[in-house]
């Protein structure tokens, strides 16, 4: 008998288990694309994702297991951690930009770049996981959501000005292709998540309320966030 160890924390895909040095994930509507994406990332030498190894006898996807710690929720991360994760996201986008797997879109987006989908080792983000929602799209979709989630903007006990400064650090690490108006990208991410979080489940309602509350906070404090961004070189001018 091969021991199957349930892996906790998944909010989208249930039934994920570890067997030895592999992870087994049930297939879903987007699995064919995800498998092609992981094969592509391996072919171009992208080091920050698990490898797809095929399907097991139960039809589950087999992925390499990445040792480390996955945050169970959002929280406060250091500047070195947010800079590192921004570099990983930029490398992921660069690995798909201009390739057939991105189709006619700018890049392939992960679409769920929260801390809960990164593996840490020794306190450093090392690997991106859970590509179930991946699809071709625009960089700003991923960057808007990632900066909101990693900085916990609108939810953390951080001043708007400091949020702007931390946002600038993350944008600098991402590089010159970061959104020209990152606050608009964050607001768009919050709006889209609130619209998607519909249904009768208690979790969906919590997500919708959280996204709407964070969006209200960003709109109420946009001037102070932008001031922090400008002071830290994250914007060359104030957005209208």
Contact indicator for 129, 50 with CB cutoff of 8 Å: yes
Q: Report the chain's C-alpha Rg in angstroms.
A: 18
What's the rounded Cα separation, in Å, for the pair 177 and 41? 20
Tens-place pLDDT, residues 89-104: 999 999 999 999 999 9
Contact indicator for 37, 80 with CB cutoff of 8 Å: no
Alpha carbon 87 to chain centroid, angstroms:
12
Tens-place pLDDT, residues 176-196: 999 999 999 999 999 999 999
At CA 14, angle to CA 137 and CA 136, rounded to 5? 10
Contact indicator for 55, 107 with CB cutoff of 8 Å: no
pTM of the model: 0.93
Give the pLDDT of residue 238. Answer: 45
Tens-place pLDDT, residues 12-61: 566 899 999 999 999 999 999 999 999 999 999 999 999 999 999 999 99
Min mean pLDDT across 105-114, 163-172, 228-237 is at 228-237
Contacts with 62 (C-beta within 8 Å, 6 or more apart), sequence order: 22, 23, 24, 52, 53, 54, 55, 56
Average pLDDT, the chain: 93
């Amino acid at each position: 008998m091969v021991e199957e160890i349930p892996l906790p924390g998944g909010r989208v895909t249930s039934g994920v288990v570890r067997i030895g040095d592999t992870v087994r994930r049930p297939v879903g509507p987007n699995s064919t694309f995800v498998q092609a994406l992981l094969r592509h990332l391996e072919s171009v030498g992208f080091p920050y994702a698990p490898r797809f190894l095929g399907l097991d006898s139960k039809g589950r996807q087999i992925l390499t297991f990445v040792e480390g710690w996955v945050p169970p929720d959002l929280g406060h991360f250091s500047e070195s951690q947010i800079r590192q994760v921004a570099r990983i996201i930029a490398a992921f986008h660069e690995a798909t930009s201009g390739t057939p797997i991105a189709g006619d879109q700018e890049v392939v987006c992960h679409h769920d770049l929260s801390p809960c989908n990164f593996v840490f080792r020794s306190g450093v983000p090392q690997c991106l996981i859970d590509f179930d929602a991946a699809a071709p799209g625009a960089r700003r979709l991923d960057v808007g959501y990632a900066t909101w989630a990693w900085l916990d903007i609108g939810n953390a006990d951080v001043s708007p000005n400091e949020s702007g400064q931390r946002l600038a650090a993350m944008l600098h690490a991402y590089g010159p292709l970061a959104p020209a108006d990152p606050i608009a990208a964050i607001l768009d991410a919050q709006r889209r998540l609130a619209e998607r979080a519909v249904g009768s489940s208690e979790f969906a309602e919590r997500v919708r309320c959280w996204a709407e509350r964070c969006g209200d906070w960003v709109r109420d404090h946009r001037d102070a966030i932008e001031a922090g961004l400008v002071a830290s070189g994250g914007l060359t001018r104030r957005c209208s």
